[in-house]
Structure 1
Amino acid sequence: MNNNATSQQPTVDVHAHVLIPALQHTVAENDPEGFAALQALEVRRNGRESMANSGLMIKERWPQLTALDRRLTDMDAQRVDVQLVSPSPSHFYYFAGEDLALTLAKQANRAVREFVDAAPDRLNGLGLVPLQHPHLMIEALDHAVLECGLLGVEIGSFAATSGDADRSTVELSDPRLDPFWNRAEELGAIVFLHPFGCSLDERLDRFYLANTVSQPAENAVALSHLIFSGVLDRYPNLKVLAAHGGGYLPTTIGRSDRAWKVRPEAQRCAEPPSSYLRRIFFDSLVHSGPELRALVDATGPGQVLLGSDYPFDMGSDNPVGEVHTAGLAEADAAEVLGGNAAALGITAAAAALIARPTA
């Protein structure tokens, strides 16, 4: 436990992952063709060099992804009191058919709950929903929040159900998602937006562009779908938390405001796009002090929460230190490190008081 935390608020990392090997086994056994197609798509998107290096990284960090004792030791070293744990986004499996997709979501929800229960004074969790099947998302959300007691769910930036981003794509602006957004708002559930994969595919298959460019690009696209389609007008109390500082959008929002001003097709939201940045929450994982200051300036200090992307190599090994050295006002840094998480109800599972509506 972080003995240097203020007595008012624990330090909370809202972006940390756990690997659930049993999910991959379930997929491989029940849809081997779909799983093989996904693996081929990942090679096409990432390139063989990045796939090989990522495999070595996962092997090296396997204890951090799966072993509780190692995680708690690392949290102490990072001065993090509480982690909000979500499944590795490699577990989205958006190619899965209806029955398998719902099975996987519920299996993931139970697995995260079991992991959290092993250290309820240090962890809380998020589950999964099948974005490729909008009509099943409420059942999976209810399972995550009401049955498993998790704080919400993690979703990708889009779901290409055929494995081909040009076909059967579900964007976050899709009207079929409205019942899900409504239910998430009713439950006060966190919806953690974390991209995995990019529709640019093999254009990013070298130099690790499939991560360094695709993740912030996908965040920007997905958030723009939410904003411009009016989702945040219809569900103003929705708790959307965007990974990677929201990608390219928050600090280049002026172009979106210009489009809203001059283009009729961009005026389906009630207010300029920049105003919605103060309704969305963002993690602090931008890898740059000046960029973190710019994010806080763009969104307001009440919208940014500590995030590390533990334990992946593109995360931060010193997330608390990076916030302290970013040049934020002391009060703003305190909000990022824990105050904003507390305001959102993100606490250790042992301390959480979760309202569970029955409607």
Structure 2
Amino acid sequence: MITENLNPGVIDVHAHWLPRELFDLPGTGPHGVMHDRDGELYLGDIPLSITTSSMSDVPAILDDMRRADVGVRVLSAPPFAFPLESGTEADSYVAEFNSALSTVVAGADGALLGLGMVTLSDQASVTAQMTALAGTEGIAGVAIPPLANGQTLDGPALRHVLTEAARLDLAVLVHPMQLPRPEWSQYYLTNLIGNPVESTTAIASLILSGIKDSLPGLRICFVHGGGCAPGLLGRWTHGWTMRKDVRRATTRPPQEIFAELYFDTVTHGSDQLKLLCEVAGTGKVVCGSDYPFDMAETEPARFAVEHGPGRDALIAAARAYLGKES
């Protein structure tokens, strides 16, 4: 629930934060234990190439915002903290994170907003957690992975989250998890290819399953410029036109539904951002940074303003996505 005034300036909807007391990640997910090693953050034995303070310390986040000319930053958990298993441990982790996040944003005088976390296996727990988020000042919505229990957004777990988000008027941010696959074991391909593919699959399922048709008020954003989706939209439309199995769940072509979704500007290229603006429409493109990771856009406001839809359009789109229209 956003009731306070936001700081002026560009709004960065895609940035990460996790307090040090929650570095002990929930469940037995595919990633190693997160820990500090001489001031640097590691996930198992993998260096994340960022300082621990940049992930967990609010003054470091605010300093980076001033440096990058960002007026408001929307914080969500890093994707490896998403609890993929049900049970008491997951529920406790979610409760602790959401409580800590609400405290941080409440004390930031309009500079920070939050996207909370939910468990993904038990629908009753999800409903309770999201209802609580909807009543928490400074929390604009929820961040989720694109995959749960081997199914993407049209599976029962994530579809329930989307349904509840629409009912409660919460924004949804979909962030890939960088899941390992044997053919992506080298060259950081789990990120360079895996992350965009995870997002692309989720976007296709949302469009072709008819979920967005059934939830017209759903405000949902896909990070990293929507992955590969902008470049594949023509192929999806051709398939929808030619094949009954592709169009069986929706009567609208993919391009029409695609233009109802939000996407951030973390494309790592001006040509890629230009394509995104062309196919999504400038009213659906919002500034993102992916702070504090090594794949972040270090000058998010400058890049988005110079190569994207412009400062005023970026701010208006972010406010609309967050449910805080002028």
Structure 1-normalised TM-score? 0.80
Q: Which amino acid aligns with 1:236?
A: P
Q: Is the 8 A contact 1:154 1:191 kept in 2?
A: yes
Partner residue of 1:141? 130
Secondary structure of residue in 1 paired with 2:151: strand
C-alpha displacement at 1:38, in angstroms? 4.5
1:11 aligns with 2:49: no
Q: Kindly indicate whether residue 264 of structure 2 is the aligned counterpart of residue 283 of structure 1.
A: yes
**1:325 counterpart residue number:** 306
SS in 2 for 1:83: strand
Aligned residue number for residue 188 of structure 2: 208
1:254 equivalenced with 2:234 (yes/no): yes
Contact 2:146 2:152 in 1 (8 A): yes
2:246 to 238, 246, 266: 266
Of the three residues 44, 63, 75, the one matched with 1:85 is 75
1:39 counterpart = 2:32: yes
Could you tell me whether the CA contact under 8 Å between 1:306 and 1:336 is conserved in 2? no
2:74–2:115 Cα contact (<8 Å) kept = yes
CA distance in 1, matches of 2:294, 2:263: 20
2:304 pairs with 1:311:
no
Report SS of the residue matched to 1:172.
coil
Equivalent of 2:47 in 47, 55, 59: 55
- Work out the CA distance in 2 between the residues paired with 1:26 and 1:212: 24
Structure 2 unmatched runs, 5+: 1-6, 35-41
Distance 1:196 1:336, change over 3 A: farther
TM superposition shift of 1:274 = 1.4
Tell me the equivalent position of 2:60: 70
Q: Tell me by how many angstroms 1:284 deviates.
A: 0.5
Q: Distance in 2 between matches of 1:203 and 1:134?
A: 34
Kept after mapping to 1: 8 A contact 2:212/2:218:
yes
Task: Select the residue among 226, 229, 241 that pairs with 2:206.
Answer: 226
1:21 to partner: Cα distance: 3.0
1:291-302 equivalences in 2 (<5 Å): 291-302=272-283
Greater share of helix: 1
Return the TM-score normalized by structure 2.
Answer: 0.87
Aligned CA distance change for structure 1 residues 254 and 26 (closer, same or farther; 3 Å)? closer
**Structure with a larger share of its residues in strand:** 2
Counterpart residue number, 2:3? none
User: Paired residue for 2:225, among 217, 240, 245?
Assistant: 245
| Structure 1 residues 186 and 213: alpha-carbon distance in aligned structure 2, compared to 1, 3 A threshold | same
SS in 2 for 1:25: coil
Cα distance change, pair 26–91 in 1 and its aligned pair in 2 (3 A): closer
Cα distance change of structure 1 residues 311 and 346 upon mapping to structure 2, 3 Å threshold:
farther
Aligned to 1:159: 148
Q: CA deviation at 1:178?
A: 4.4
SS at match of 1:317: coil
User: Is the aligned partner of 1:235 residue 2:208?
Assistant: no
- The one-character-per-residue Cα deviations of 1:311-334 (angstroms, maximum 9, x if unpaired) are 1110011112212332x5xxx312
2:92 corresponds to: 103
Aligned in 2, Cα 1:9/1:293: closer, same or farther, shift over 3 Å?
farther
What secondary structure, in the 3-state scheme, does the structure 1 residue paired with 2:148 have? strand
Q: Size of the alignment, in residue pairs?
A: 312
Distance in 2 of aligned mates of 1:222 and 1:345: 20
Unaligned runs of 5+ in 1: 1-7, 43-49, 161-168, 354-359
> Does structure 1 conserve the Cα–Cα contact (< 8 Å) formed by 2:240 and 2:253?
yes
Q: Distance in 2 between matches of 1:62 and 1:131?
A: 27
TM superposition shift of 1:201? 1.4
